Structure 1
Amino acid sequence: MNDAEYEVVIVRYGTRSGHRGEVYLNYPIYGEPDAPIGMDYYVWVIRNEHRTVLVDTGFSPLGAERRQRTFVRAIPEVYAALGIDTGAEQTLVVTHAHYDHIGNLALFPRAQVHISGVELDFWLSPMGERKQFSHSTEPDEIAALRTALDEGRVTRVGEGDLIAPGIELLEIGGHTPGQLAVKVATDEGTVLLASDAIHYYEEYEADLPFAFVADLPAMYAGFDRIRGLIERGDVDHLVSGHDPATLQRFTPVTDGPLAGIAATIGQAPQAHHDEEAEQSND
């Protein structure tokens, strides 16, 4: 049994409407008219019969209220539908510490949290503490991260680290100091969960940097790196952090409580085992 291939589940839990001029950095210089643009919010789950790895935890009800974001499905309901006990020991990757990626960290009081050491140091610094009161995040969200750190539940990670066989972390800065992406092996090829290294597919396709950026040259370098991964065949499936078209690119979930708001890539090895057993009984 191959324990290094996974099913990747993408769940759309929130949404909002905005304009291109507020989404892309210095948008007026492109000489194109402003226009509406949607933004969707996702959490990701990587799983097979041996393990489950959670990637980010979405925004909280407080984060949604303060920023006028809309829940498509409450986060606790998402995890319940996936059969995930948020109170149990879990492996959790935080791609970066913005409000829409760590907003429900406190739901996981026993999780081992993997976060870039660069990212962690920034948010626990005086500058990071000042940013907690801006668009970026909330004090209670960083407090939950501090609690996990004090309890010994935080693992500092970085470029090339393996969470488990077949799950590798890439550090692609730009949006935040230690933005992570997650590379996952599946039976349909290698998946890159880009998180906010790529908010929208057109970002890397047209070199359109996102409006909120910590390091602009690093963001452009990240676009180049992702293009290279795809061109060389190191990545077969790119999963954006916020593009409303994301679910349409993959296998839709059509049954159960997540029907219409989730998609999958690949099948966990256990699924193949079950299929083989059924075929042997035919």
Structure 2
Amino acid sequence: MTDSWEAFAVRFGRHRLRRSAFYLNYAGYGEPDDDVTMDYYFWVIRGPAGTIVVDTGFAPEVGRRRGREVLADPMELLGRLGVDASTVRTVVVTHAHYDHIGNLARFPSAEVVMSRREHEFWQGPFAVRGHFAIPTETAELRHLSSLRTTGRLTLVEETYQLAPGVELLELGGHTPGQLVVLVRGAGGTVALASDAIHTYEEYERDRPFGIVADVPAMYRAYDRIRELEQQGVRVVAGHDPDVMTRFTPYFTDTVCRLL
């Protein structure tokens, strides 16, 4: 069955920054600088085959050190959805930045699924270079690498069906192996875009985010997501506060239902 998946966006953090810090080469657009808000999410998919967690957020102590507002511990919010991290069998890592793999060690039984290209990049020589190293945590990358030696890391390429109704698309751009997760349920199909698009404005105005591995690939990712949207897929941006109003509130101001 592909029509019985539920999907949720879980908001756990927030950060305000200037547009000139958010967008790549913002000065070139010739527009005034002002503030933009980024919210931080992870995603939960539930169905008869079990629970799939997509990304694991930033560790609260890391978020605070980096000047992010911590709305709640991601694991506390996961528990409010009735999910115990210790029993989750599958975690999808869309990419290896600190705000997406920060609590991975708190899922001790999970198979971790990510792009082979993504994993190989972060084990390679450019991972420690400034532009790439800034949004990562060395200890978290080390833990991610250790999962391969224990047989808990599954590496995928291009398009991969994780389960009936759940598909992974490798689009790259923001990072070398950035994944988007397609989920099909009774209410249609959603694309968990993660950081392939951070905000709807970024995507709609075709303006790449400031942290990017491959600018042409980021533009191609926008185009691929537009194709999905034309097919009726609803797009879930990775860091946009508007996600909470575009989709159905589930409880308080931290979780909304996507499917």
Instruction: Give TM-score scaled by structure 2 length.
Output: 0.96
Structure 1 residue 133 displacement after superposition: 8.5
Q: For the Cα contact (< 8 Å) 2:180–2:194, is it kept in 1?
A: yes
Cα root mean square deviation, aligned: 1.5
Per-residue CA distance 1:56-102 (angstroms, 9 max, x = gap): 00001232133101111112201211222212252000000000000
Cα displacement (A) at 1:158:
2.3
The residue type equivalent to 1:91 in the other structure is T
Q: For the structure 1 residues 232 and 83, does the alpha-carbon distance in structure 2 shift closer, same or farther, using more than 3 Å as the test?
A: closer
* CA distance in 1 between partners of 2:125 and 2:206 (Å): 32
- Tell me: CA distance 1:139–1:132, structure 2 relative to 1, closer, same or farther (3 Å): farther
Partner of 1:70: 69
Q: Structure 1: which 5+ residue stretches go unaligned? A: 267-282
Q: Is 1:263 equivalent to 2:256 in the alignment?
A: yes
CA distance in 2, matches of 1:93, 1:50: 15
The amino acid across from 2:133 in the alignment is S
Q: Name the CA shift for 1:145/1:132 in 2 (closer, same or farther; >3 Å).
A: farther
Partner of 1:135: 134
Q: Is the 8 A contact 1:24 1:208 kept in 2?
A: yes
Kept in 2: contact 1:88–1:110 (CA 8 A): yes
Distance 1:230 1:10, change over 3 A: same
Q: Which runs of 5+ in 2 are unaligned?
A: none
Following superposition of structure 1 onto structure 2, how do residues 107-118 of structure 1 map, counting pairs within 5 Å? 107-118=106-117
Report the secondary structure of 1:115's partner residue: strand
**How far apart, in 2, do the equivalents of 1:169 and 1:222 lie?**
13
CA contact (8 A) 2:2 2:185 kept: no
Q: Structure 1, residues 188-233: CA drift from partner, whole Å, max 9, x if none?
A: 1110000000001012211111001100000011111111111233
Aligned partners of 1:123, 1:196: CA distance in 2, in Å? 17
Alignment partners' CA distance in 1, 2:42 and 2:238: 9
Aligned partner of 2:163 in structure 1 is 164
What is the aligned residue count? 259
Instruction: Please name the residue that 2:216 is paired with.
Output: 217
- From 229, 251, 257, give the equivalent of 2:248: 251
- 1:87 is paired with a residue whose SS is helix
- Report SS of the residue matched to 1:58: coil
- Where in structure 2 are the equivalents of 1:88-99 lying within 5 Å? 88-99=87-98
Structure 1, 171-180 or 127-136: larger mean CA deviation: 127-136
Q: Which residue is equivalent to 2:13?
A: 14
